[in-house]
Structure formats: C-alpha cells, structure tokens
Amino acid sequence: MAGITNANLNSIDKVELINIPKISDPEGRGNLSVVENNTLPFEVRRVYYLYDVPSDASRGGHAHIALEQCLVAVSGSFDVVLHDGKNKKIIHLNKPNKGLVIPSGIWRELENFSSGSVCLALVSAVYDESDYIRNFESFKLFKGG
Ligand code: T46
C-alpha cells in the first residue's frame, strides 16, 4: 500500500498545502474547483465528509499507518492540528480551493469547526480500522520515540 514503508519516518515537513484549480465563471456564476487524477500525489479510492460538527467538538485524534489523505474545507473553516511524534503544526483551512495533503504516519486532530463547515476528505484506500493508530503513546512508539 502506498506510504506504508515511510509511515514511521514521515515528518510534518511532508504535509503539503496544495492549490486545487479554481475556475471562476466569467458571467459571475461563481467558482468551480476540480480534483483530477494528477491533482493529488495518490489515487483517490474513497471520499467521505464531516459536517454538522459542533464548534466545541474535535474529530480525528489518530494517525494512519498507510492511508494518505487530502482534506478540503469545502465550506466554512476548521483547524488541523498535526503531530509527527516530535513536532506539532496547526493549519487553518478555510478555502475550497486549498487541499491539505497528509501523508501516512502523521497524527491529526480537527477542531474549531465554524458553523456550517464541511470537511471533504479524498483518501487513498477503502476504510480499514486496522490502519488506525488511535493511542498517542502507541503513535510515539511507532515513530521510534
Ligand atoms: C481522519 C479524520 C479527519 C466508516 O465506517 N467508514 C469511513 O470511511 C470512515 C472515515 C469512518 N467510518 C466509521 C468508523 C467510526 O465508527 O465512522 C465512525 C467515525 O469514524 P472516526 O471516529 O474515525 O471519525 P473521525 O472524524 O474521528 O476521523 C475521520 C477519519 O476516520 C480519519 O481517517 O483522518 O476523519
């Protein structure tokens, strides 16, 4: 599976904010963004989305052994708190034409959801609970520390 060999080595520097092409309508009908095969560094095998998330709730709170993801704030905004076992980074997502590409082996928590926000996730594999590390101490051991 893509990413599995580097999952324990991947650092926060491998997390990437990418531009998703935006087509603005010349007649003022708004914008259209498109994700195609070559937009992301992996093939999309599943799509899910988070919505109606209360502002005081947090999602995530785990890492993936192999899964790669691209998160997009298609509506509203939220923070993505990332950790690679050593370093932490917070990315604020609030634009439908920006995608946060998270490689395998990175802990993530999503919080501070604005009212009506929607988090779209484009991911590299079908759902597999055995791909999750849901305990932060186990995650740190997995990362070698
Ligand atoms: C991630 C963050 C951002 C399924 O049955 N199929 C699915 O494709 C997914 C994603 C989840 N589920 C089930 C598993 C749980 O019973 O839905 C329930 C909630 O899943 P979870 O607690 O993993 O949800 P989040 O929001 O904490 O995490 C999800 C993704 O699982 C995860 O990969 O990075 O969103």
pLDDT, tens only, 12-41: 999 999 999 999 999 999 999 999 989 999
* Residues in the chain, total: 145
- Report which ligand 1 atom has the smallest distance to the Cα of 126: 8
pLDDT digits (tens, 9 = 90+) for 121-130: 999 999 999 9
SS3 at position 107: strand
Half-sphere exposure of 62 (CA within 13 A, CB side): 13
The arithmetic mean of pLDDT across residues 112-116, rounded, is 98
- Give catalytic status of residue 92 as yes or no: no
Nearest CA to ligand 1 atom 21: 60
Closest C-alpha among 9, 15, 14, 16 to residue 85 = 9
- Any ligand 1 atom below 6 A from CB of 49: no
Cα(87)–Cα(137) distance, integer angstroms: 15
- Any ligand 1 atom below 6 A from CB of 60: yes
Cα(129)–Cα(133) distance, integer angstroms: 9
> Domains, the chain, ranges and CATH?
6-142 (2.60.120.10)
pTM: 0.96
Query: How far does the centroid of ligand 1 lie from the alpha carbon of residue 83, in Å?
Result: 18
Nearest CA to ligand 1 atom 8: 127
Residue 5's pLDDT is: 59
Q: Is the pLDDT of residue 2 over 60?
A: no
